Amino acid sequence: MTYNEQRAARAKGLRQSVFAPAATAVFFGVSGASLIVPSAALAQSYNFSSVQIVGTEKIEAATILAYLGFGKNETVSAAQLNDAYQRLQGSGLFDTVRLQPSGRTLVVRVQEQAFISRINIEGNRREDDEDLIAIIQSRPRQVFSPAVAERDAQVIAEYYAQKGRLAAEVTPRIIRRTNGRVDLVFEVIEGRVSEIERLSFSGNRSFADSRLRRVLTSKQAGLLRAFVQSDTYDPGRIEFDKQVLTDFYNSRGFVDFRAEAVAAEAGSSRDGYQVTFKITEGQQFSVGQVNTISEVDGVDTAEFERAARLRQGGVYNPSDVDNAIARMERLAAQKGLNFITVEPRIVRNEREGTLDVTLAITRGPRVIVERIDIEGNQTTLDRVVRSEFRTVEGDPFNPREIRRAAERIRALGYFANVDVQAREGSASDRVVVDVDVEEQGTGSLSFGASYSTASGFGLNASFSESNFLGRGQYISAEFNWGVAVRNYSFSFAEPRLLGRDLELGINAFYYDTLASANANYDTTRLLVEPYLEFPISPSSRVAVKAGVRGSNIANVDPASSAVLMAEAGRGWQIGGHAGLTYTFDSAISGLDDMSRFFLEIDTEVGGLGADNQYLKATALARAQTRIMNDEVTLRAEVEGGALYSIGGAGARVTDRFTLGPEKVRGFRFNGTGPRDLTVANTDALGGNYFVAARVEAQFPLGLPEEYGISGGVFADVGSLWGLDNTLGGTIDDAFYLRSSVGASLFWDTPIGPLRFNYSIPVVKQGYDREGRFEVTIQTQF
């Protein structure tokens, strides 16, 4: 039996069995409710000097008189009397209504509906009463309605179905109390979770089942089935996955792709399903000739062609065309060319496997946006949603821009569902944009424990909210208490300052490390840093920052280097700093990109007001691509940094760079770099310069996809060098390369993607400290 058939059967059973007595009573009550008017008097009028009300207990007489709609000594026709009867019956306050003229007295006989005294949920072990009561329509102190209670039962059953319990049954019952009151009870049989036993595909030739399964949001039931909800059978999620597959294939040149049907059959387990996606891939196309033409006088097509940046030869991706159109329409708006649209005209060359693209600049219809209506946002302010529109009331209507606004609203992560539709406004040349959203939770509070070789055992607590007070603001606080490390941090950001794409925020932290196996001294660092971030292109952003940075070195072991002793003797150093951060990200939001490039450059001048002033710069470049039909992911990273003292006593160990496992795997934190080998502790002193490069490959291991386990190999190389004070040359701070190779195990778990690394240092110095095994939370970009 399919999901819809099960729902229909449950609903039919509820109507036939649960509410049979109540439905019968309602039927005869409504049938017995009547307007008693002699047939010979249907055309005559009435004039009542009094109204007699019979049968009320809780409803006041004034309420009934108000529904009648006429007063004493008024002439009333039979039609008006019938309308009064219909209003009383339609009020929902009464089981039965009878209007009976008796001379100059109108007798109103009613039987009141019962009122709900309380609502209880019974049999629910996995869902809280409060969560279930919040989604139903019935409420205490409201009139009881059997039809509403039946609908509420269906809503609760559907709520369980969304969580994979398709066999859940909900039965509404009433317990009659005195004074016309009832207790409404929903008896719940939760049933077992309906899991996806197998996800398979038919018709796929270019990509293996294993690759397509990684694209889907639905997952097969695996080892962690007790913790993972995405392996429950949800028809809504399956429909969404059809669109996910379509986007995946379209972005790889398969423009004719169709997810024709989804067959869901009962598996070997009574509560399991085997889901098969029946697909048609079609032919893969690349970009053929690209031309730009104009059907509007006075438009320079060469300038628009440069803005499009669409080139011949690559795999055809609809998003590339959409981005080209967006850039061209943005240029038209900057030139004051209103109602200009760019129309893509595609010519198929089946034999060559190419699509010729002509971008036609045309004059669109003169339609303006009359109004943007937003509904469903109970907490989120209207202005947060409106800020994602580049169009305001009175602007030319651009359907493509409205679609992009809908994508930006979804990307906020504040809403479970977003529906944006345009309809005709007060005139044919006006459009009203309706935005209907459904909010979802945006905050998190977590407590946990941790262990690392660098800082030992620790406890941590964190709080974050990405839609603070419904204003779209981000706030977070984190506290970590460890044996060797104590960290307190706070962040706040307003991403839409003054309603523009302008982010104003502040970051602050207090970081305390105690003497451990990695260092024989204590350090304290603090930072308070406001910043302002803004875009300079669709893919690039710049942040301007300024603030206060402080550090202290204390409790240096007597067996440590004289460099550290001298730096600790300078005490607390607190100084101002200012800088710029540039980021570039080629990612296309919402798509599973085959290739991606990320670049970050950070510059800072600091130590203002302290005993050392410095210039500091770092750069990081990442690239990622997929090969072998997307089965293998290749990643490469290159980064480097430089610290240059421009006056004062020189940089301290708290200012300099380190080269730990986050840069070159196989070495411990503070495990490489310049050291003072003339003393017993041989502490790492850090370096003024560093460079590192990392390459890795991630690939499937042949295990079932539901395990979420894949493998990888990597190779790292890097160096850390340079000190302001080498104690007359007794400390070797020269450039020495370190390198390592290793293997990784990737595991997607409910707490996040974990990564297990085993590294073997290849090139090293004799005094380096190795760290071959490492467990981290995998960073993805």
Asked, for residue 526, whether it belongs to a domain, the answer is no
Across 16-30, 190-204, 466-480, 555-569, least confident range: 16-30
CB 166 within 8 A of CB 190: no
pLDDT tier at 564, thresholds 50, 70, 90: very high
Residues 176 and 274 in one domain: no
Residues 771 and 636 in one domain: yes
Residues 221 and 102 in one domain: no
Average pLDDT over residues 504-525: 87
Asked, for residue 374, whether it belongs to a domain, the answer is yes
DSSP state of 603: E
Residue 268, pLDDT > 60, answer no
670's tokens: 């503070």
For every residue of 540-564, DSSP letters joined together read: EEEEEEEEEEEEEEE---TTS-HHH
Length of the chain: 781
Q: Which residue has the higher pLDDT, 364 or 344?
A: 344
Across 320-324, 613-617, 646-650, least confident range: 646-650
Residues 565 and 580 in one domain: yes
Residues 699 and 660 in one domain: yes
End-to-end CA distance of the chain: 42
pLDDT of residue 267: 52
Q: Which residue has the higher pLDDT, 634 or 445?
A: 634
Domain boundary among 255, 280, 305: 280
Across 122-126, 578-582, 617-621, 748-752, least confident range: 748-752
In sequence order, which residues have a C-beta less than 8 Å from that of residue 21 and are 6 or more positions away? none
Residue 452, pLDDT > 70, answer no
Q: Please name the amino acid found at residue 582.
A: Y
Burial (CB count within 10 angstroms: exposed 0-12, middle 13-18, buried 19+), residue 444: exposed
Residues 629 and 687 in one domain: yes
pLDDT of residue 9: 42
Q: Please name the amino acid found at residue 314.
A: G
Asked, for residue 376, whether it belongs to a domain, the answer is yes
Residue 5, pLDDT > 60, answer no
Asked, for residue 492, whether it belongs to a domain, the answer is no
Residue 224, pLDDT > 80, answer no
Residue 37, pLDDT > 70, answer no
Beta bridge partners of 438: 417
Average pLDDT over residues 370-375: 94
pLDDT of residue 539: 86
Residues 131 and 248 in one domain: no
When mean pLDDT is compared over 484-488, 615-619, 680-684, the highest value belongs to 615-619
pLDDT of residue 455: 60
**Can you say how many angstroms the Cα of residue 627 is from the centroid of all Cα atoms in its chain?**
28
Across 270-274, 312-316, 452-456, 672-676, least confident range: 452-456
Number of domains, the chain: 6
* CA–CA distance, 218 with 357 (Å, rounded to integer): 35
pLDDT tier at 228, thresholds 50, 70, 90: very low
Per residue in 680-739, pLDDT (tens digit) is 888 889 999 999 999 999 999 988 776 778 999 999 999 999 998 888 778 889 999 999
Per residue in 463-472, pLDDT (tens digit) is 999 999 999 9
* CA–CA distance, 355 with 135 (Å, rounded to integer): 49
Asked, for residue 39, whether it belongs to a domain, the answer is yes
Beta bridge partners of 375: 436
pLDDT of residue 43: 53
pLDDT tier at 211, thresholds 50, 70, 90: confident
Residues 159 and 249 in one domain: no
* CA–CA distance, 461 with 479 (Å, rounded to integer): 5
Per residue in 642-680, pLDDT (tens digit) is 999 987 788 999 999 999 899 999 998 888 999 988 888
Nearest Cα neighbor of 602 from 622, 623, 583 is: 583
Instruction: Kindly report the number of other CB atoms within 10 A of residue 188's CB atom.
Output: 23
Residues 51 and 150 in one domain: no
Percentage, residues of the chain above pLDDT 70 = 88
Nearest Cα neighbor of 680 from 511, 506, 564 is: 564
Residues 55 and 168 in one domain: no
Whichever domain contains 595, its CATH number is: 2.40.160.50
Residues 619 and 696 in one domain: yes
DSSP state of 40: G
H or E stretch covering 416: strand 415-424
Whichever domain contains 412, its CATH number is: 3.10.20.310
pLDDT of residue 750: 67
Average pLDDT over residues 423-444: 91
By residue range, what is the domain housing residue 121?
3-26+114-189
pLDDT tier at 507, thresholds 50, 70, 90: very high
pLDDT of residue 345: 94
Asked, for residue 491, whether it belongs to a domain, the answer is no
Domain boundary among 95, 112, 129: 112
Asked, for residue 456, whether it belongs to a domain, the answer is no
pLDDT of residue 583: 97
Domain boundary among 313, 339, 363: 363
For every residue of 224-240, DSSP letters joined together read: TTTT-STTB--HHHHHH
pLDDT of residue 76: 86
Sign of CA dihedral 137, 142, 148, 152: positive
Sign of CA dihedral 558, 564, 567, 571: negative
Asked, for residue 250, whether it belongs to a domain, the answer is yes
pLDDT of residue 25: 31
Across 262-276, 341-355, 593-607, 707-721, least confident range: 262-276
Residues 588 and 698 in one domain: yes
Average pLDDT, the chain: 85
pLDDT tier at 235, thresholds 50, 70, 90: confident
* CA–CA distance, 404 with 408 (Å, rounded to integer): 6
pLDDT tier at 20, thresholds 50, 70, 90: very low
